[in-house]
Homo-oligomer: A and B are copies of this chain.
Amino acid sequence: MARHCFFVCRHLDIDNTPMDVDPGQHHQGPQAKSFIKPSNSCNLPSSFSSPMSSSMLADYLQRREKLIAEDRALRTDHVRWNYTAAELKADKVVRSIRAKEATTVWGIDHEHVPHPYPGMEFLNGKDLILQTELYEIVSKMPKGGLLHVHQNASVEAKTLLDLALSHPAIHIRVPSPLDAASLETVLPTIQPIPVEQYPATDVVGITDVLYAGGWVPIKKARELFDPALGGPAGFDKWVLSAFMINPSDAYNTYNTPMKIWMKFGSTFGVTDPIIRFVPIQKEYLRMFIRSSISDGISYIEVRTSFFKKYILAEDAKTKLELRELLLIFQEVTNEIKAELKAKGREDDFAGLKIIYNTLRIISSEELELELEQCSKFKQEFPNLIAGFDLVGHEDGAECKPLIDYAEPLLRFAEQHPDIPFIFHAGETLGDGTAADMNLYDAILLGTKRIGHGFSLAKHPKLMQICREKKIAIEVCPISNEVLRLTSSMPMHPLPVIMNQGIPVVLSSDDPAMFNSMGLSFDFFQVLVASEVTGLLALGHMARDSITYSMLDEQSKRTAMDAWERRWAKFVEEVAAMDP
């Protein structure tokens, strides 16, 4: 396979550069409604399609090329890299499809899609995304590692509801009979209850005027749901709206970064008791890993909360220690690895690790206990525990800044070099607020990566440190947008970070709540929101997700080799497309 030096290509064979834009898209007439007016970075100005008319201009164009190259020199996709012919061709194919769909998909009106454009609000644009050829390509891409995802937000809401419906222990309760009005505001309480608490056989439904507020088997509640309120389908709609953030929540009712967290928090409150139940937990985890693998994810580091101190046994009353949860993780991961091995698909999954996390509302004394617990788990499950983190709404009044925990964290870092910090920090619009200042502490405390780092772009010195020390940023595009830190992907500061040469890994954060399962949607949004970023840049982010994972060196090499094999196959397929 011929491999060309990128910089040689840039000057000698300009059509093959990742930055090149199809000249056919330039100077479209006003009738062609397109949301991207392409640059002519590598094209000659229209005023001299004939041979160069002056040496002054020729000199100018040379200086321009040089300046653009210097400006982009720090990007991972613009560093000296020997791209294969297939990679360059695939990148070109993708750019061509993107340019076409900017007009054919995003440039026309669609009923039910307000203001379509590439990189638009995800919850409004999802149906359109699913119709694109570009999404089809992206969904097949090997994504590498998923490094920022919360375990209790990792399985599609509809699937979780099906899981709940399939288990006889799961019951539901509301304060009083539901009607059309209360349906809009009342959240269900859903949880497993012990068999001796099961209601009498002749239960009334939760929409029945005779309903008195007791537990109803969830399956029964669904069957009996008032046909006037939609029957079982109405039940599903109501429950799912409590499991997820809906477009009207994000873009209307709670349309600020502060308000949307109220809704966001409530979704965890509703779903957590269902997941924290061993039989469902196990199946939930299985589905999370399997669906991730289907999306091209070959490794996972999952943030798992140890804030609540138990999971519930099958009898729905015995509280098991959290060690049991780790055993479940181990069992399910090994089971899936064995399963894949039996099919000769070892390349598809390098495993799963846990980032132990608790909530940043606890006291320093409580944190000491958490750190102790984490280190005990690390001793027993050295390959499972990948790091430690503190999570919560950084802008929230009840959440503490990292500086408040500096002392125990400093001590821990000194004593436990085997358990790195992988902190959430800077998930905020604030400038100089506590959440923004968390970035200083995350870095000073030695964080290996930064979760979100949304406000990092404001910090020149911190960006330099991240670049030099290779602190990768776990960028969560759809999460940031749904949680209203940015109104759309083109408004996201990701290009600032990428162009500063800071390693970036794309992550999904809480895909169950954002209805954005897998990594394909996040990759898609990044791809359509920039003319600089192409398939090769996505490939580098996938590579970086393995490079900056917490895998040991040997496993990392194995995972990277597997990824490279899959990537080579993928780009060959894309390159062979005729857009």
Which residues on A are within 8 Å of B, measured CB to CB?
19, 28-30, 32-41, 45-48, 53-54, 56-57, 60-61, 63-64, 67-68, 70-71, 73-74, 114-115, 117, 255-256, 258-259, 364, 395-398, 400-401, 403-407, 410-411, 414, 429-437, 440-441, 443-444, 457-462, 485-488, 490-491, 493, 495-496, 499-500, 529-533
In the complex, the answer to whether B431 meets A461 with C-beta atoms within 8 Å is no
User: What is the chain B residue whose CB lies nearest that of A119?
Assistant: B429
In the complex, the answer to whether A38 meets B531 with C-beta atoms within 8 Å is no
In the complex, the answer to whether B29 meets A397 with C-beta atoms within 8 Å is yes
In the complex, the answer to whether B259 meets A115 with C-beta atoms within 8 Å is yes
A191 to chain B, nearest CB (A): 26
In the complex, the answer to whether A30 meets B397 with C-beta atoms within 8 Å is yes
In the complex, the answer to whether A411 meets B71 with C-beta atoms within 8 Å is no
- Cross-chain contact of A36 among B256, B433, B460 (Cβ < 8 A): B433
In the complex, the answer to whether B403 meets A45 with C-beta atoms within 8 Å is yes
Alpha-carbon distance A150/B54, docked complex (angstroms): 34
User: What is the chain B residue whose CB lies nearest that of A436?
Assistant: B39
Set of chain B residues within 8 Å of A60, measured between Cβ atoms: 406, 410, 444
Alpha-carbon distance A34/B485, docked complex (angstroms): 17
In the complex, the answer to whether A433 meets B46 with C-beta atoms within 8 Å is no
Set of chain B residues within 8 Å of A398, measured between Cβ atoms: 30
Alpha-carbon distance A490/B457, docked complex (angstroms): 13
- Cross-chain contact of A37 among B48, B255, B433 (Cβ < 8 A): B433
Determine how many copies of this chain the complex contains. Answer: 2
Alpha-carbon distance A61/B437, docked complex (angstroms): 13
Leading 6 A-B pairs by shortest Cβ distance: A432-B531, A432-B532, A431-B530, A71-B461, A429-B490, A487-B487
Alpha-carbon distance A54/B458, docked complex (angstroms): 31
In the complex, the answer to whether B440 meets A37 with C-beta atoms within 8 Å is no
In the complex, the answer to whether B444 meets A34 with C-beta atoms within 8 Å is no
Set of chain B residues within 8 Å of A56, measured between Cβ atoms: 407, 410-411, 414
In the complex, the answer to whether A460 meets B71 with C-beta atoms within 8 Å is yes
In the complex, the answer to whether B491 meets A431 with C-beta atoms within 8 Å is no
- Cross-chain contact of A57 among B36, B397, B407, B431 (Cβ < 8 A): B407
In the complex, the answer to whether A493 meets B493 with C-beta atoms within 8 Å is yes
Set of chain B residues within 8 Å of A436, measured between Cβ atoms: 39, 531
In the complex, the answer to whether A434 meets B39 with C-beta atoms within 8 Å is yes
Set of chain B residues within 8 Å of A403, measured between Cβ atoms: 40, 45, 64
Alpha-carbon distance A407/B431, docked complex (angstroms): 42
- Cross-chain contact of A496 among B53, B256, B457 (Cβ < 8 A): B457
